[in-house]
Amino acid sequence: MEVLVASAILIGSLIVLDQLATLGRLSANSAESRVTAQLLCEQKMNLMLTGMEPLEETDDTVWEEDENWHYSVELLPTEKLPLTAVTVRVWQDEEKVLRPQRFHLVRWIQQTSSDESAGGESEESDISELSN
């Protein structure tokens, strides 16, 4: 009788430990995918900001190196300030991955159009005239 109770406790403990190990593996895979999404997002943003890739909007583009990842780029200029919000979104393909991860990164950059630079120069000359 005691052997039966001890065996039942052992089997129950093994089942619980197996569930905990499975949960740990799922959490580790999820964390790894999240970090990968962050790194891919930063990489795409840096490539565009350094001029190695064009700074242009894209919608649901498959990542070149890994077909499980997709990205999009959104440019949102402000109305009053010469700034543009560059948003890069990265996500896993929902059909291929059990728990897809998503990440987005926003950076504000100065607009560099010829009209705004001419306007900026005239403002500087107005300021210098006022200070004299």
Q: What is d(CA 88, CA 107) in angstroms, rounded to the nearest whole number? A: 9
11, pLDDT greater than 70: yes
15, pLDDT greater than 60: yes
How long a stretch of residues is the chain? 132
The domain segmentation of the chain, as residue ranges, is: 2-131
pLDDT of 113: 60
Amino acid at site 51? G
124, pLDDT greater than 80: no
Query: pTM above the 0.85 mark?
Result: no
**Residues 6 or more apart whose Cβ sits within 8 Å of residue 48:** 54, 55, 73, 86, 88
Token pair, residue 112, equals 């560099």
33, pLDDT greater than 60: yes
pLDDT of 97: 81
Render pLDDT for 67-121 as a digit per residue (tens, 0 to 9): 889 999 999 998 888 999 999 999 998 888 888 899 999 999 997 664 344 444 4
130, pLDDT greater than 50: no
Rounded mean pLDDT of the chain?
A: 84
